[in-house]
Each structure stands twice: as C-alpha cells, then as structure tokens.
Amino acid sequence: MRDAGLRTGLGWDLHRLVAGRPLVVGGVEIPHDRGEDGHSDGDALLHAITDALLGAAALGDIGEMFPPSDPAWKDADSRKLLAAALFRVRAAGWEIVNVDAVIALERPRILPHREAIRASIAETLGVGPERVSVKAKTSEGVDAVGSGEAIACWATCLLISAEAPV
C-alpha cells in the first residue's frame, strides 16, 4: 500500500482540580485557587499532547511510558514527559507538522495566557509557535468541568516521516 508518510494522533486527558496544587496548563502556571491533582504536576494539556504524539507514531501511551507507580515521576514537570515522548517519536523517524488542542476549563479564563501557553508548548516541542494551536472552552456550567472540579484537554497532531521530501 502507498504510504503518504503522514500520521495523525489523538490525545485526551482529565485531571481533578483540588486546593493546594498549582494550576499548570501547557507548562505555564496560571494563578487560581486550585490546581490539578495528579502524580506528576498534573498538566492535562501536555498529557493530551504527549498521547497525541505517541498515538500518531503508534508508540503506546503516556501511562505505559511513565507509570504512575514510578516515584521518578512524582510531581514531575510534564514538559520533561513530553520531551521524552518526543525523543522516542523522533527516534522512530517522525517530525511534527502541527499540534492542535482544546482546553475545557470553567475558570479562570485561559485567553490571557494563551500565547504564553502556545510559546511554552512550541519551545518544548522544538517547533515554531505557528505550528501549535490552543483553544479554550468552558463547559457551560455542566458536568465536572462545568462545576470547576476538573480540567479536560484534547489534542491532535500530524506527524510527517523525517524521510519525506520537503
């Protein structure tokens, strides 16, 4: 079968929001009265992006690569997890074309932080910010996100074979 040298990936993650934890979104700490619960820093956006990349390269998922049972990842900066996953994706012969993501969070508003989040993700991925899109939605007061109990994130990515002609 003809192979176009392209792969898409999808990632999703949700973390509970609790008092006494920082709210870290895409590697950027956002002032809020609660933050993500989790074994690592709980950065749901970076976890979704990590899974999108691993998924596109068919390299498994974040839970497999960084087991919650492993104390090495306790309170870990999720940028390190994403960079480690990207290293594997590149080693398998893939480069990033683009990443697109949606953050579902009732409050605080993400818009004032969006460009910082895009820049942070782009820097971690080693690509220009024009290849990284971040959008934010609320849940209209419905469900765990709507009640402020959780943050949920979706991400997609496109990978191109490093051997593909430019």
Q: Which residue is nearest to Mg ion (CB)?
A: 47
Residue closer to Mg ion (CB basis): 29 or 95: 29
The answer to whether 13 contacts Mg ion (rule: CB under 5 A) is yes
Contact 69, 122 (CB under 8 A): no
| Candidate ranges 12-20, 98-106, 139-147, 154-162; the one touching Mg ion (CB under 5 A) | 12-20
- Beta-carbon contacts of 129 under 8 Å, excluding residues fewer than 6 positions away, are 115, 118, 119, 122
- Would you give the binding string for Mg ion spanning residues 76-95, x where CB under 5 A is met? --------------------
Ordered alpha helix ranges (H), 22-149: 44-56, 62-65, 78-91, 114-125, 143-146
The answer to whether 47 contacts Mg ion (rule: CB under 5 A) is yes
Contact residues: Mg ion, CB under 5 A: 13, 47
